Chains A and B, each alone.
Chain A
């Protein structure tokens, strides 16, 4: 099956500092990948390669067979949605939830065009998909962290992406909100047949959601393969440099450390 996105021997440097070295990954349509690794491994940098936000200094990056270069990146970015970590917002910010989600359609709409009924319908449907239609009129600064991340997922959905990038979507959220986001991501991936690449520190989310895992350490891929094979205590302990055990409850695996 032809890949949706591909990294071939990609290197990334910031000045003289090497951030990523000889990264090769092939993302097939419908895959759910997670990228895991310690802080500073280069995970966010790697994720940014898939929509051209991270410039690469060597190797090749492809999206549906088309190379991602400074010239093609802006166009390709409209087909790739990217959800960042939750950040604090000013509660007085003059932006409604609906307007925030609607902005996901603006990249494809282009400059000098106003959103019409089609875009507004899409935004509303995206909000319904994440269960937040009842908050459409709420100022976005009034939402909890978990709700704002669901709005971010709705905004990504409104973009009608072919690839969804998630950069630690559950960071800085409480346990309940983390579960909500993971469940929402899993549901969206199934219902919309999305191809997803997610960075997470939550190993339990990896085992529950992902089909494939790439382990990144010091800018290099330590291991990549099926998620069930990633539940390997020796591999995980080497990745994070702390002893990790894997517990099994029925068909569920959980990391203990």
Chain B
């Protein structure tokens, strides 16, 4: 761990682990609570396919991943809203197609395909300053989005139709969230890897759901768990000389399993009562 403080590339890897893990964890709250699993999976794997195709074509993989993730996010939103449209089937087909494109691009790549393989497994150790800057900007964007629209995000949870009927601009907020997810996936792809990035988005948020009945805390807990899993995974991968993406996700999954076994919600109690100085009190007590 002392080496992490000496070498610039390891310092960047550590920073990306913290930032990227936190951002993936936080965006995962939307995926878990708004039931966007299939949508999130398609965006993640579209980014992966886009990056590999770009690499094969000699274009920067970041550009390809970004174009594909934002393109998928733009397409999936309207598809999800079509009445009578089977999203399950459509997402299953899209997922198969993008994975096939990704493997095709990998197969067609000349030479040792090192860079292509690192997009599959992740490569925290090759993170650049630009990668960090882009991830920092995305983190600020996500923080701003959650801060500004927190009440709408909370209203949409589990009662999307009621929120739309009450005049809340559900569609705009949903699409903005999809675009944010596209950005997060594209900028975290290189570090975490295409096959595993979706797991890092979902598992910290799923773990946070076991631990709190307050949405604001769920965002912070998911971000913290994502960062912890990423740093722990980086350190263990350094120790054991194994791909960091896989270790990160396994560590995160272990945290989820432990939280599910020991969750206070299993006993029908919250960690703390849902209480706010204004919430839940009669007007004369507020």
Q: Which A residues are closer than 8 A to B by beta carbons?
A: 14, 51, 53, 74-75, 77-78, 80-84, 89-96, 98-100, 102-104, 106-109, 111-112, 114-115, 117, 120-121, 124-125, 133, 136-142, 152, 155, 159, 165
Contact = CB atoms under 8 A, between A and B. Distances in A.
A60 to B, nearest CB: 21
Given A92-B210, A94-B209, A111 B279 contact: no
A95 B154 contact: yes
B162 A95 contact: no
A115 B218 CA distance: 21
Interface string B62-98: 0000000000000000000001000000000000000
A74 B33 contact: no
Interface residues of B, number: 41
Contacts of B212: 94
Given A95-B154, A111-B149, A139-B213, A133 B282 contact: yes
B149 A120 contact: no
- Find the residue from A81, A95, A98, A165 having the highest chain B CB count within 10 A: A95
A98 B275 CA distance: 10
B83 A137 contact: no
Given A96-B280, A106-B155, A120-B279, A155 B164 contact: no
Contacts of B278: 117, 120
Interface stretch (B165-173, B181-189, B248-256): B165-173
A77 to B, nearest CB: 4
B33 A107 contact: no
A53 B178 CA distance: 22
A90 B157 CA distance: 10
Interface of B: 33, 83, 148-149, 151-152, 154-155, 157-159, 161-169, 209-210, 212-215, 217-218, 265, 268, 270, 273-275, 278-283, 286
A93 B151 CA distance: 15
A100 B160 CA distance: 12
Given A115-B151, A125-B283, A155-B166, 6 more contacts: A82-B165, A92-B210, A96-B274, A106-B163, A120-B283, A133-B282
A137 B162 contact: no
A53 B168 CA distance: 12
A94 B218 contact: yes
Nearest to B219: A94
A129 B68 CA distance: 51
B152 A111 contact: yes
Nearest to A141: B158
Given A14-B83, A106-B151, A137-B273, A78 B167 contact: yes
B162 A89 contact: no
A94 B279 contact: no
A76 B233 CA distance: 52
B282 A124 contact: yes
Contact of B166 (A95, A106, A142): A106
Contact of B168 (A106, A112, A115, A124): A106
A112 B286 CA distance: 23
A94 B154 CA distance: 9
A137 B274 contact: yes
Contacts of B217: 94
Contact of A100 (B159, B210, B214): B159
A103 B151 contact: yes
Contact of A74 (B158, B167, B275, B286): B167
Given A90-B158, A96-B274, A53 B165 contact: yes
A98 B274 CA distance: 10
Given A117-B286, A137-B275, A137-B279, A111 B169 contact: yes
Given A94-B218, A137-B279, A137-B280, A120 B286 contact: yes
B83 A95 contact: no
B169 to A, nearest CB: 7
Nearest to A123: B279
B213 A96 contact: yes
- Find the residue from A93, A94, A124, A142 having the highest chain B CB count within 10 A: A94
B280 A121 contact: no
Contact of A94 (B152, B166, B213, B281): B213
